[in-house]
Structure formats: C-alpha cells, structure tokens
Amino acid sequence: MNHRTPEPEKNAASLLTADITQDAVVIVPGIMGSELYDTTRQKTIWGLSGVAWLLKAWTQPKGLEPLRLTEDELEGKTGRIKATQLMRHSSWTPYLQGLEPYTSLINTVRECVAHPAAIMQFPYDWRLPVATNGRLLADAARRHLTTWRQHDAHDAARRHRVDERPARLVFVAHSMGGLVTRAALDPAHDSDLAQDTRAVLTLGTPFYGAVKATAILNTGRGTPVPLPHRQLQSISATMPGLHDLLPQYTCLIDGDHIRHLTPQDVAAIGGNADLARDAADSHRRQAHLALPAHRAVVGTQQSTLQSLTIHAGVVEAHHHGARQHTNGDFIRDPRGRLKFYDVKGDGTVYKESAAVGPAITPLPLQHGAVASDHIALKAVAEILRDDEHLGPPQGTPGCGLDVPDLVEVGNPWTVTLSGVDSLGGVRCEVTDLSTGSTQRLRLGWGGGDIVARATAYTPGLYRVTVRTLDDLTVTQLVLAAEAEPKRETA
C-alpha cells in the first residue's frame, strides 16, 4: 500500500494580508516642534541642525529676536514666518527642556499606512494663536482626506479592510498639537470634519494648560550660565501661542485659597492681559468639544510643576496641587487648611491636565520624548491599525528622571531617579549629541532617591538615558554652555 505524504499548504504566507490602514493620517507637532523660515530675511530662524544655533539662540543677547511677533502679526497679518517642516533634530529650550525630533513617529506611521501619500505632516507657526492654527489645520486636513481618497493605493487598501469603508482621518498630535487638533475639529470651521475623523491620539497634550508657561512669561531665574531672560520674557509676552498654554485650572495659591489665573495676574508676571483673556475665552469655547475616539498618552512619574504663588510679580512654582471633592469644595485638613497632592506628570504637563478622554495610556516618560518612545509608538501603531488599544505592559513602574535643563561646562551636576527601589538593573548614561560619545554614570543613593553626578566638558546638547530593570527607557536633554566671564571690579 502506498502512503502519500500530505502536501503542505501552498503559499500559506501569501495568504497573509498586510496589517495596514486605509485611513489618512495627520501628524501635528507641539510648540517649537516646527521649523520656522523668515521669508523676508530668507533664513531659517528655528530648527537648524547642530548645537551651534541653539547656543546662539539661548546665550546671545539677540539670539531670540527673530521670533518676536511684529505689530502686523499681532493684528493678524501673518505670512512673514513660514512653517516648513516638522523638527528633524534634537532641540532644547529653557523650562520646556529637551525636545526630541519627530523622525521616529513619522517612520512608525509610515509602517502602518497604505502609501506615504496617506500621511500629512502639519508644521505650523507655533507663535500664533491655537485658534488660528486650528483653522489652517481644518482646511489642510479636508484637502488631505479628499486627495487621499482619490489615490489608487487607497482603493487597493480598503478592499482588505472591514466593510471596505473609505478612508477617514486619524490625528496624531503631540503637546500643543492636541489643542490645535481640537480647534480644527470645532464645527464652526468644518461641520463634517469630526464625522470624517476616526480617531484622535494625543501625546502629552496640556488640555488644561501647564504651570511652566507662567515661568516662561516671568522674568526668569538665577543661573550661572547667561540666558537672555529679559529678552525671552519680552518675546514670549508677544506670543499668543504661549498664552494658550497657560493653566486653565485652579492653580494660583492665594493665602489659604486657590483660584484661577486672571488676565491681570498674567500681566503682573510679565505676560499680556489681552492675549491671556483671548486664550481663556478660546479654552472655554472648546472645552465641550469631544474628540472622536480620543486616546490620550499621558506621561507620568516625572517631577512636574502643578501650582504657583505670585509675590511682587515673581512666580514661585510648586510640585503639588490642590484637589476637590465631587461637590467642588477643595480638600482641607481638620484645621481647614488646604491639602496638597503631588500627582506628577511628564516634567512639563501634570498628569491630570493631559489625562482627558475615555481612554488613557499612562507611561513613565518625559514630555519631550513622549512622541518618540518605543512604547508610545506601539500605541500609535495599534490605533492606526484599528485594533483594540491594550495600553502599556502591566506591572512596569518605570522611573522618574530629574535633571537640570541648563548646566555650566566643567561643573558637575546631579541626575536624580525617583520611583526606583533598587540599583539592580538600572543603567544611566549621558551622550554628547555632537560627537556621539557616551559616558555611563555611577549610581548611588541620596535623599531617598537614586542619584548620579555628571559633567559636560564642552558646550553642546547632551541626552541623559535611563534604562530600568523593567526594560523601560526614560530620556531627557540637557544644554551645556560656558559660564559668563566674571567682570573685574575696579
């Protein structure tokens, strides 16, 4: 009797269909996340490669001057500055600290779409009001969806998807980009745009603002490295976009009470009362807008400013905030004093300002890296492919990373890790982005946290990287500059 061996299935692998979306994706960066080009001077004023332009911008007296809004721009006559593309290089700014490029995010999206034409990157002039950029985004997103639906790759992709439905929009927005996306989905601009949107993914968006915006508007802080604080403050005071990031929740501690910032408060700390009033009005108009199928990736575990006090026009920011009962009353101790809580955040946006929407994914990340971390990018890919969003791996606490935003060349500085119980399996490195050289730091205990000392020996931008036993990575950028020479006294 002859026994025939069953033939294997023919081309079984060829039966697998690529798990890609037919949807149109729009990537919206955060504040300072778009390269800016001055059309009158024919010169890029924000977003150049290399550290030299960063050092010039933040250590020279006139380094920030090209960013100042003109009277025409404040009156709505824009066009002098053109946003050309999303940031391609690591960057840095005082208070907001390190800003990672969007290269990894763009590459992740490309792996999930049917054709590169399905992706629209939306650079914008982040100095302008969120409402202005929202209107521009609404028009651009509508054009993008219409064009993509006419593409041959769109029809080919939809034949392999559930119900073969036509493409809809998916917005992937970092930081301020989430506010711009919310403004774009205001039905006053395009009444059908929200209906044509399948999902919105926000990465560290300050829906209720950030206390750090008040620090930027204030006159600055003491530092051994010369920063043009007065110029930074005066230029920031002209930026409607920065005023859109002011905290819109009760964060101002006034004696034994806590209240909202008023336009008068903003003017007292160096901002613009009219711009603050416009920003608050814009937030109130859009607070009721529900983003379609909104998922929010929220940075956690990082030391984050949450409230402030104002003394004689000087901001003192705090790493804690008050909480309310369900009836609106603030929680107080038996003696009637306010109780404060530290809920942390991503180092820039405190957790409860970003944790908006029906689906929240908490990740122990710094603000500048929340759009580039590999776990956050996995969440992006899952949402684009329209699978059930499972969130981060369970049982992975990660750690908090606290570093100075600006250090002096040759002077040691401290790296602090919080939320870690053991030195075992923790690795901390500092990389010089100019040379690529990496130094591993020696870790030890100090004040209940794990600490390390680092020194930058040349001016430049440095990336601090921490890897934990959980195989999670937290990064932050630090700018090193020469100290201001001491003036000789007669």
Token pair listed for 2: 């002859």
Which contiguous run of DSSP H or E holds residue 24?
strand 24-28
Of the candidates 239, 206, 194, which has an alpha carbon nearest to the alpha carbon of residue 78?
Answer: 239
DSSP track, 395-438? T----EEE--SEEETTS-EEEEEES---STT-EEEEEETTT--E
Token pair listed for 423: 């030195």
Helices marked H in 113-202: 130-149, 152-158, 176-184
d(CA 81, CA 93): 20
3-class SS of residue 141: helix
d(CA 100, CA 213): 19
Which contiguous run of DSSP H or E holds residue 275?
helix 273-286
Token pair listed for 424: 């075992």
Of the candidates 298, 292, 303, which has an alpha carbon nearest to the alpha carbon of residue 375?
Answer: 298
Q: Residues of the chain whose pLDDT is less than 70?
A: 1-17, 50, 219-232, 387-397, 485-490
Phi, psi of 379 (to 5 degrees): -65, -40
d(CA 94, CA 229): 10
d(CA 41, CA 368): 30
Q: What is the pLDDT of residue 390?
A: 41
Where exactly are the structural domains of the chain?
18-246+270-300+347-392, 400-481
DSSP track, 202-244? EES--TT--THHHHHHS-----SS---HHHHHHHHTT-HHHHT
3-state DSSP percent of the chain in helix, strand and coil, to 5? 25, 25, 50
Is residue 182 a contact partner of residue 133, using CB atoms and an 8 Å limit? no
d(CA 45, CA 47): 7
Is residue 463 a contact partner of residue 364, using CB atoms and an 8 Å limit? no
Q: What is the pLDDT of residue 132?
A: 94
Chain center to CA of 15: 40
Is residue 247 a contact partner of residue 81, using CB atoms and an 8 Å limit? no
Of the candidates 28, 46, 124, which has an alpha carbon nearest to the alpha carbon of residue 91?
Answer: 46
Token pair listed for 319: 């790493």
d(CA 466, CA 24): 35
The CATH number, out of the four listed (2.60.40.10, 2.40.10.10, 2.40.50.100, 3.20.20.70), of the domain defined by the range 400-481: 2.60.40.10
Which contiguous run of DSSP H or E holds residue 308?
strand 307-311
Assign a CATH topology to domain 18-246+270-300+347-392: Rossmann fold (3.40.50)
- Cα Rg, the chain, nearest whole Å: 24
Is residue 178 a contact partner of residue 207, using CB atoms and an 8 Å limit? yes
Provide the β-strand partners of residue 259.
252
Q: What is the pLDDT of residue 91?
A: 81
**The whole model's pTM is what?**
0.84
Collect all residues with Cβ–Cβ distance below 8 Å to 2 and sequence separation of at least 6.
none
d(CA 247, CA 266): 11
What are the start-end ranges of the E strands in 32-80?
Answer: 34-38, 43-46
d(CA 415, CA 481): 17
Collect all residues with Cβ–Cβ distance below 8 Å to 171 and sequence separation of at least 6.
25, 26, 28, 141, 181, 184, 197, 199, 200, 201
Residue 478 identity? V
Residue carrying structure tokens 């956050």: 376
What confidence tens digit (pLDDT) does each residue in 251-263 have?
999 988 999 999 9
d(CA 96, CA 212): 7
d(CA 333, CA 203): 35
Q: What is the pLDDT of residue 16?
A: 62
Dihedral over Cα of 67, 275, 347, 101: its sign? negative
Of the candidates 358, 58, 72, 31, which has an alpha carbon nearest to the alpha carbon of residue 226?
Answer: 58
Of the candidates 139, 361, 182, which has an alpha carbon nearest to the alpha carbon of residue 288?
Answer: 182
Helices marked H in 287-343: none
CB atoms within 10 A of CB 239: 26
Q: What is the pLDDT of residue 221?
A: 39
